[in-house]
Amino acid sequence: MKIEVVRKVLEKNDQAAQQNRRRLDELGITCFNILGGAGSGKTSLLEALLPRLKNKYCVAVLEGDLATTRDAERIAALDVPVVQILTDGGCHLNATLVQQGLSRLELVGLNLLFVENVGNPICPANFDLGEHRRIVVLSVAEGDDKPSKYPLLFKDADLIVISKCDLLEHTRFNLSAALRDIRCVNSQARVIQTDTKTLRGIDELSQWVSAEPLLGKD
Amino acid sequence: MHEFSLAQSMLEVAVSEAQRVGAHHITRLKCRVGDLRQIDGQLLRDAFEVVREGTVCEGAELDVEKVRARAHCSRCERDFEVCDGDWVCAQCNGLAQLLEGGDELEIISLEAEVDS
Ligand SMILES: Nc1nc2c(ncn2[C@@H]2O[C@H](COP(=O)(O)OP(=O)(O)OP(=O)(O)O)[C@@H](O)[C@H]2O)c(=O)[nH]1
Ligand SMILES: [Mg+2]
Ligand SMILES: [Zn+2]
């Protein structure tokens, strides 16, 4: 017999993601999923951003990596609660791994949760983790062609950070071409240019995060 | 290398469909995959061959139907299929905007053997 259906291949992940989101909603926590290629500067952005946010909000971080606890150690050095999720070879986080990570965090009283995904421009974009907002980091060092090469990564982003802008003068990264190509796949996302050496753009980033609707709602 | 975990997820959907209709064997399943997912159809079939072993899908064929992403050129009010990440409108050379779709990732049919 032939069975006609339409079932999402990732339905199990999507259900777990919905559970995560509901749980976070109940607790009044706004969750950000940070995605980008390996070494695009995700942890560095958190290192620049968290000191500004932690005076105003209760913040925690979930660090997703294939191996090592190095990124978690960098966050812990800022005196911010952090849980390392090791994917054990998996190239992306999924909603179940995040669920497990959540169970290892003190969630009561928390306002903001940042989840740093595994550095990879392809796989993580497929998996809803239960976040409220997606932040995609594109570094100048990676090249301006990435929005066209990895449209799935950019198309659902709420914020696109162009990082390492101090390198603009040392590379052939064409900023206007990158911005134009971003608009081909995503007409809505806010774009912020940063540089964690001079802290350019970090205030803007902090304001964008603080403007999230759940915050201040108590 | 997300093909492997996707093949695993496809298997889980197929197994639950088999249970739902009371099938003892699935012989074929068909999925629809949007180009934006950047999934290699051959790799997906290879991965499925590995994960199907010893399950109700043992020996089942996996058909992969690819769906192109579509874009809209606002200058000539024209929709077209995006090939190989090329967002340039062939008519006016203008840049186009991605339309809904092209990110499908779903099982759309199965062929099952049911005990009579
Ligand atoms: N010049 C410059 N280098 C930067 C900047 N931000 C980060 N880097 C460097 O880029 C490299 C990678 O930074 P990380 O913050 O570890 O990147 P990541 O995205 O967290 O890396 P993974 O988690 O391994 O994917 C490090 O050597 C940083 O010092 C920046 O704004 N300017
Ligand atoms: Mg990192
Ligand atoms: Zn045109």
pLDDT digits (tens, 9 = 90+) for A161-207: 999 999 999 999 999 999 999 999 999 999 999 999 999 999 999 99
d(CA B6, CA B93): 36
pLDDT score, position B36 = 95
Instruction: Name the architecture of domain B3-69+101-114.
Output: 2-Layer Sandwich (3.30)
pLDDT score, position B58 = 97
How much is the pTM?
A: 0.94
% of chain A with per-residue pLDDT over 90? 92
pLDDT score, position B1 = 63
Confidence of residue B19 (pLDDT cuts 50, 70, 90): very high
Q: How many Cβ atoms are within 10 Å of A118's Cβ, its own excluded?
A: 21
pLDDT score, position A66 = 87
Count interface pairs A-B at CB distance under 8 A.
Answer: 92
How far, in Å, is the centroid of ligand 2 from the Cα of B36?
25
In a domain, A87, yes or no: yes
Burial (CB < 10 A; 0-12, 13-18, 19+), residue B40, is middle
Report which secondary-structure segment, H or E, holds A60. strand A59-65
Based on the structure, what is the number of domains in chain A? 1
% of chain B with per-residue pLDDT over 70? 98
Residue A170, domain CATH: 3.40.50.300
pLDDT score, position A218 = 46
pLDDT score, position B84 = 80
d(CA B30, CA B92): 37
d(CA A144, CA A40): 13
Which residues are near ligand 1 (CB < 6 Å)?
A 36, 38-44, 71, 119, 163-164, 166-167, 195-197
Is 80 exceeded by the pLDDT of residue A217? no
Is 80 exceeded by the pLDDT of residue A210? yes
Cα of A93 to nearest chain B Cα, Å? 11
Please state, in angstroms and as integers, the Cα–Cα distance from residue A152 to each residue in A18, A149, B43, following that order. 20, 9, 19
Q: What is the average pLDDT across B19-46?
A: 96
- List, as ranges, residues 69-108 from B with C-beta within 8 Å of A: 69, 71, 85, 87, 95-98, 103, 105-108
pLDDT score, position A213 = 65
Q: What is the average pLDDT across A111-116?
A: 98
Whether residue A161 contacts residue A45, with contact meaning beta carbons closer than 8 Å, is answered with yes
d(CA B59, CA A87): 30
How does pLDDT run across B44-78, given as a tens digit for each residue?
999 999 999 999 999 999 999 999 999 999 999 99
Dmax over CA atoms of chain B, in Å, equals 60
Name the residue facing B109 among A5, A151, A185 (closest C-beta): A5
* Helices assigned H by DSSP within A127-211: 146-149, 151-155, 175-185, 202-210
In a domain, A125, yes or no: yes
Q: How much is the ipTM here?
A: 0.91
What one-letter code names the amino acid at A127? F
Is 70 exceeded by the pLDDT of residue A50? yes
Q: What is the average pLDDT across A79-99?
A: 93
Q: Where are the domains of chain B?
A: 3-69+101-114
Q: Domain residues for A34?
A: 11-208
